[in-house]
Every structure is written in C-alpha cells, then in structure tokens.
C-alpha cells in the first residue's frame, strides 16, 4: 500500500512538472490544467466530465480517439440523441429536428478534450 502511495505521488509530481514546463492552458476558465489532469488520471473511466464552463460541457479522456468517440456516442444516445455521422473532429447527433455537434481535439499530447455547445 505504501509503495502505491509513493508511486502515485511521484506520478502526480511528474505531471505537475510537465504542465509547468509546457505552460499548458485549457480553452476555458474554471478548472486548472493540473486539476483536469489529476481528475482524469485518478479515474478509471474513459470519458471524464470536467464541468460546464461558458455554456459548454467539457470532457477529457486519456483513451485513444476511437474509444473516446464510441464512449461519447453511447453517452449521448442514452440522452436521446441519435448518432448521425463523424466528420473530421466533429461527432454529429440528431434529436427532434435539432442537431448537436461535439468536437474533440488533442490536448497536452496525451489527452483529448471534447466540447458540447449547449
């Protein structure tokens, strides 16, 4: 147990050093890059909801692009949206003659940031 704790602390320290050296910023205010990375690294989930900022829902994932997209599709289909297509970085959904586009992009070389314009 003690080895696990020490290893976790070392990993988080390395992440903090990486963030500081890269001067990473998120495209929204409300949560710091360190908080976002800590949240995703501590989670076993594929898609982590970072919260709603500037009328947009933000997600982060450390999984590959295909796995992240599939997780988003399952999440939004549970919310009643029908997956229409993927085009570039956009995932298109339809519901009651409305269209929703969720976009994902690489962030900090290891993570995907996805945004849903509410």
pLDDT tens digits for 25-72?
899 999 999 899 999 999 999 999 999 998 999 999 999 999 999 999
CATH number of the domain encompassing residue 15: 3.30.310
pLDDT tens, residue by residue, 74-97: 999 999 999 999 998 999 999 999
CA dihedral 71, 75, 76, 77 (to 10 degrees): 100
Whether residue 21 has pLDDT greater than 70: no
Q: How many domains does the chain have?
A: 1
Residue 105: what pLDDT?
95
Tokens of 52: 């709603």
Instruction: Give Cα separations from 118 to 5, 57, 82, 97 (angstroms).
Output: 39, 7, 16, 16
Torsional sign, CA 27, 33, 35, 40: positive
Determine the structural domain holding residue 75 and report its residue range.
Answer: 2-117
Who has greater pLDDT, 45 or 14?
45
Instruction: Name the residue among 81, 87, 79 with its Cα closest to residue 103.
Output: 87
- CA 36 to CA 117: how far, in whole Å? 19
Res. 16 pLDDT band, cuts 50 70 90? confident
């Amino acid at each position: 147990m003690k080895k696990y704790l020490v290893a976790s602390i070392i990993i988080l320290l390395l992440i903090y050093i990486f963030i500081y050296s890269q001067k990473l910023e998120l495209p929204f205010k409300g949560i710091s890059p360190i908080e976002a990375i800590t949240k995703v690294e501590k989670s076993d989930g594929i898609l982590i909801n970072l919260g709603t900022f500037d009328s947009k829902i933000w997600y982060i994932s450390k999984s590959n692009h295909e796995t992240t997209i599939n997780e988003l599709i399952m999440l939004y289909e549970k919310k009643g949206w029908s997956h229409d297509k993927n085009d570039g970085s956009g995932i298109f959904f339809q519901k009651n003659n409305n269209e929703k586009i969720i976009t994902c992009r690489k962030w900090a070389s290891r993570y995907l940031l996805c945004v849903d314009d509410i």
